[in-house]
Structure 1
Amino acid sequence: MNFGFTDIIWIVFLVFTVLPMVQQRSIAVRRFNLLRKIEEQRQSRVISLIHRQEAISLLGIPISRYINVEDSEHILRAIRLTPDDMPIDLILHTPGGLVLASEQIARALQQHRAKVTVFVPHYAMSGGTMISLAADEIVLDPNAVLGPVDPQLGQYPAASILQVVQQKNINRIDDNTLILADMAAKAVRQVQEFVEILLLDKLPAAKAKELAKMLAEGRWTHDYPITCEKLREMELPSVCNEMPLEVYELMELYPQPAQQRPSVQYIPLPYDKKLPG
């Protein structure tokens, strides 16, 4: 059989079109099998909420992910399908996202009757922290972090917008900034009230109110790292260094887009003994 140049072009096109689909399907099956393995080990419903940049389409265009309403719809459905007496394990890796979606997920987890555990292998910032606070127990890698839940309006922290109004003469502030300040005050108050509700199950009322204010008022920058030790100081139920190995394996199945020149390289083997010199 003779192949012309056009035939070769079509074959190459089909290979580059079908191969990524096959690889993606293979990764999806491995993710499912690993989730099932964790469920069997822990006798729980395991839900993953993992946001990383992923390469999509033929051109490999990376997209950034964050908590959105679609995520909340899927997680709420998973919770509804879980028996009341079955524990829920949520594997969480996210930079945050929409307050509405995060609150929906947190509220649904809080209302689940059996134990809810959130596993944070790397970070769960902003809305991810809000979701974590709804859990009965937060399990973190020793170097994993949560973050403040102070609301953001566009590119600006709500707390910083309020600072402008407090420090500047009102006659020198434009109407748009005043409107933003009004929205910012409402956003901070709403988030603080919701976080306080989440914490009332775990802490005395006065402590819950104090901690909710600390996390929502903009005391720190939005990327301030709240470590496991810091969570213990806050008297929140957190555990360090007890992350199941399968959680790390699952994270490996969410690869970042390939780069021509990777910024991090290492030999992917555990070094249990000192290497010979």
Structure 2
Amino acid sequence: MNVFDIFWLFFMITALQPILRQRFLEAARQRMIAKIEKSRGSRVILLVHRQETMSLLGFPIVRYIDVNDSEQVIRAIHLTDKDVPIDLILHTPGGLVLAALQIARAVKRHPAKVTAFIPHYAMSGGTLIALAADEIVMDEHAVLGPVDPQLGQFPAASLVRVVREKPLDKVDDQTLIMADMAEKALRQMKANLSELLAGKYEPQRVEELAETLSQGRWTHDYPITFDEAQRLGLPVSKDMPTEIYQLMSLFPQPVRQQPSVEFLPTPRKGHEGGQGTGLFF
């Protein structure tokens, strides 16, 4: 073997390494999903959006809820018997209203119990899906978010407010058109949310929650913590299985040259509990 052959062998191994690493991760995920399903007697469905990297080229891609996600989740629900509970693990910044609403309606119509697990965050469309579940299990530091519609880069509620507070002769036609669309979007989102919450609360409470969460009370990225979710009366709990965290560790972000967070991956206990020596996973 000459130097040229060694170079090509090194090149091939380097090119295949990301693919092999991805295959090992996928196999580990499948094993963990099977473990959770066996222990809980449920169907586990993940909707996880991380920043991903294109193979070979290495360009970052930001993921969000899209129609392909709704097709896959609905297909998984259809493949689940009516008496089998569903555990839906959500980790997403949100996405298309249409796709999130399709998933949420499918979740609500499943006859058996549906539990939404939020280990870190489920904003916007992710919150809409979680609200359709029978129970929401959150980490004590996890957050949900408002579901007020956005028109491009503008909040629908803010567009309506501009037209309401500014003289019409000072508003251009494009803003008037966007404000009309925004008003319709707000009305539609409130109706959709009321539909998802119907049967879970008294009608008056459904009206209050739909108004609070969909009509622009907060900024769109406002974090609704576990405590605030409890104050709102949402069906939340902190009973997060350890396996959920272990499963999330199998969805790493692209590796950077310099990590932004670094620590020794071992449990740390007080003097009474002794020193931890084993890895979490």
Q: Report what 1:56 is aligned to.
A: 54
Backbone CA RMSD of aligned residues:
1.3
State the Cα distance separating 1:123 from its structure 2 match: 0.4
Moved more, 119-128 or 163-172: 163-172
Equivalent in 229, 248, 251 of residue 251 of structure 1: 248
2:224 partner SS: coil
Q: Write the distance in 2 (CA, Å) between the matches of 1:148 and 1:86.
A: 30
Gaps of 5+ in 1: none
Q: Report what 1:157 is aligned to.
A: 155
Q: Write the distance in 2 (CA, Å) between the matches of 1:9 and 1:164.
A: 64
1:160 partner SS: helix
Q: Report what 1:91 is aligned to.
A: 89
Moved more, 143-152 or 226-235: 226-235
Relative to the length of structure 1, the TM-score reads 0.95
Q: Report what 2:131 is aligned to.
A: 133
Equivalent in 227, 230, 239 of residue 229 of structure 1: 227
Percentage of identical aligned residues: 56
- Letter matched to residue 15 of structure 1: I
Q: Write the distance in 2 (CA, Å) between the matches of 1:106 and 1:9.
A: 52
Q: Write the distance in 2 (CA, Å) between the matches of 1:13 and 1:177.
A: 55
Q: Report what 2:100 is aligned to.
A: 102
Residues matched between the structures, number: 273
Q: Give the 5 Å matches for 1:193-208.
A: 193-208=191-206
Residue deviations 1:41-71 (CA, integer Å, cap 9, x gap) = 0000000000011222113221111000000
Q: Report what 1:116 is aligned to.
A: 114
- Letter matched to residue 256 of structure 2: Q
- Letter matched to residue 25 of structure 1: R
Relative to the length of structure 2, the TM-score reads 0.94
Q: Report what 1:65 is aligned to.
A: 63
Equivalent in 53, 56, 76 of residue 74 of structure 2: 76
- Letter matched to residue 253 of structure 2: Q
Q: Write the distance in 2 (CA, Å) between the matches of 1:178 and 1:48.
A: 40
Q: Report what 2:279 is aligned to.
A: none
Q: Give the 5 Å matches for 1:212-223.
A: 212-223=210-221
Gaps of 5+ in 2: 276-281
Q: Report what 1:263 is aligned to.
A: 260
